[in-house]
Amino acid sequence: MSQPVYKRILLKLSGEALMGDDSYGINRQTVERIVSEIKEVADLGVEIAIVIGGGNIFRGVAPAAAGMDRATADYMGMLATVMNAMALQDAMRQVGLVSRVQSAITIQQVAEPYIRPKAIQYLEEGKVVVFGAGTGNPFFTTDTAAALRGMEMNANIVLKATKVDGVYTDDPKKNPDAVRYQTITFDEAIAKNLKVMDATALALCRDQNMNICVFSIFKPGALKRVIFGENEGTLVHC
Ligand code: UDP
C-alpha cells in the first residue's frame, strides 16, 4: 500500500476558503467539508499545522486605502484570523480531531500564545495546530505567516489551498488555453509573476528551500492526493 510522501505539512487556508459560496463570513457546510478532508489526512498519521487567513471577515488593505490607519486595520485583520481559527478548531472538535490554536497576538482567554516548541510537541502528539493572527505584525499576510511557520515547524512542504487547482500559464477563468504547471521553479514563478503566494512568502520559501504545492481545497480528495504525491496541483520547487 502506498504511503504519504509528507510526514509533516503546513496547510495554508485562506479566509475565503471558509466562505463557500457566501459573500462573507464562515459557511458551516464548507468548514465541515474541509475538516473532513483534513481528518482523512490526519488519520493517515500526517502531522498537520494550519495557518488560517482572515479575508472572509476583514482585510487590512481596503480600509487603509479608504483612510484608516494601515497598522490598525491590519491588527483587525489579524483578529479576524483568530476567529476563523476558533471556528476551525470547533469544527475539528466535532469530528473528534484534537487541535490547539496558537495566536501570534496574545489573547489568552481564547487561544494560547505562539510557542514554537509547544507547537512542535503538539504535532508530535498527533494534534492539529492552528496558527492564528498571522505573523503578529502589520504589513504582512497570512501567506508569509504560512511560509514562516512552515519553516519553524520543520514542515516538509507548505500546501497552499486555493480555489484554483494549481498555477496556470494564464488566468484559466479568462483564457481557455491556459495550462496548469505540474511543477515550476521559484525563479520561473517569480520571473513570470505567477500567482503562487505573495512575493514575501515566495522569496522566503525559495531562500529556505521550502517547496510549495498549490492545489484546490474545493476539489474533493485533492488534499489526500497531494499527500500521496499524485499529480495534483502545482509543485513549486527550487
Ligand atoms: N494580517 C497582518 N499580518 C499578518 C497576517 C495578516 O496584518 O501577518 C492582516 C492583514 O490586514 C490581512 C488580514 O490580516 O489583510 C487577513 O489576512 P490575509 O489577507 O492574509 O488572509 P487571506 O487572504 O488568506 O484570507
Residue 106 covered by a domain: yes
Among 13, 81, 103, 139, say which to mutate for ligand 1: greatest number of ligand atoms within 8 Å of CB: 81
Confidence at residue 163, expressed as pLDDT on a 0 to 100 scale? 87
Instruction: Calculate how far, in angstroms, residue 197's C-alpha sits from the geometric centre of ligand 1.
Output: 12
CATH number of the domain that 121 lies in?
3.40.1160.10
Instruction: Calculate how far, in angstroms, residue 142's C-alpha sits from the geometric centre of ligand 1.
Output: 5
Confidence at residue 55, expressed as pLDDT on a 0 to 100 scale? 96
For residue 144, give the ligand 1 atom closest to its CA. 8
Residue 124 covered by a domain: yes
Q: Is the pLDDT of residue 84 over 70?
A: yes
Pocket around ligand 1: residues whose beta carbon is below 6 Å from it? 14-16, 53-55, 59-61, 73-74, 77-78, 81, 134-135, 137-138, 140-143, 145
Confidence at residue 1, expressed as pLDDT on a 0 to 100 scale? 64
Q: Is the pLDDT of residue 68 over 80?
A: yes
**Considering the chain, what is the average pLDDT of its residues?**
96
Residue 181 covered by a domain: no
| Alpha carbon of residue 113 to chain centroid | 19
Find the mean pLDDT for residues 23-35: 96
Q: Is the pLDDT of residue 57 over 80?
A: yes
Does 136 count as an annotated binding residue? yes
Question: Residue of the nearest CA to atom 13 in ligand 1?
Answer: 77
Residue 209 covered by a domain: no
What percent of the chain lies above the pLDDT cut of 70? Answer: 100
Residues in CB range of 226: below 8 A, 6 or more apart: 159, 213, 215, 232, 233
Residue 201 covered by a domain: no
Does 72 count as an annotated binding residue? no
Of 113, 110, 115, the C-alpha closest to 83 is 110
The pLDDT confidence band at residue 2, using thresholds 50, 70 and 90, is confident
- The per-residue DSSP string of the chain comes to ----S-SEEEEEE-GGGGTTTSSSS--HHHHHHHHHHHHHHHTTT-EEEEEE--TTT--SHHHHHTTS-HHHHHHHHHHHHHHHHHHHHHHHHHTT--EEEEESS-BTTTBEEP-HHHHHHHHHTT-EEEEESTTSSTT--HHHHHHHHHHHTT-SEEEEEESSSS-BSS-TTT-TT--B-SEEEHHHHHHTT-SSS-HHHHHHHHHTT--EEEEETTSTTHHHHHHTT-S-SEEEE-
pLDDT for 186-215, tens place per residue? 999 999 999 899 999 999 999 999 999 999
Residue 238 covered by a domain: no
Residue 63 covered by a domain: yes
Q: Is the pLDDT of residue 231 over 70?
A: yes
Q: How many domains is the chain partitioned into structurally?
A: 1
**β-sheet bridge partners, residue 51:** 12, 131
Of 210, 211, 237, 215, the C-alpha closest to 226 is 215
The pLDDT confidence band at residue 24, using thresholds 50, 70 and 90, is very high
pLDDT for 119-170, tens place per residue? 999 999 999 999 999 999 999 999 999 999 999 999 999 999 998 999 999 9
Q: Is the pLDDT of residue 173 over 80?
A: yes
pLDDT for 95-106, tens place per residue? 999 999 999 999
For residue 139, give the ligand 1 atom closest to its CA. 7
Its domain, for residue 55, covers 8-176+186-195+217-232
169: cell is 500559464
Among 14, 142, 196, say which to mutate for ligand 1: greatest number of ligand atoms within 8 Å of CB: 142
Cα–Cα dist 84/54, whole Å: 7
Q: Is the pLDDT of residue 18 over 80?
A: yes
Question: Residue of the nearest CA to atom 23 in ligand 1?
Answer: 55
Q: Is the pLDDT of residue 113 over 80?
A: yes
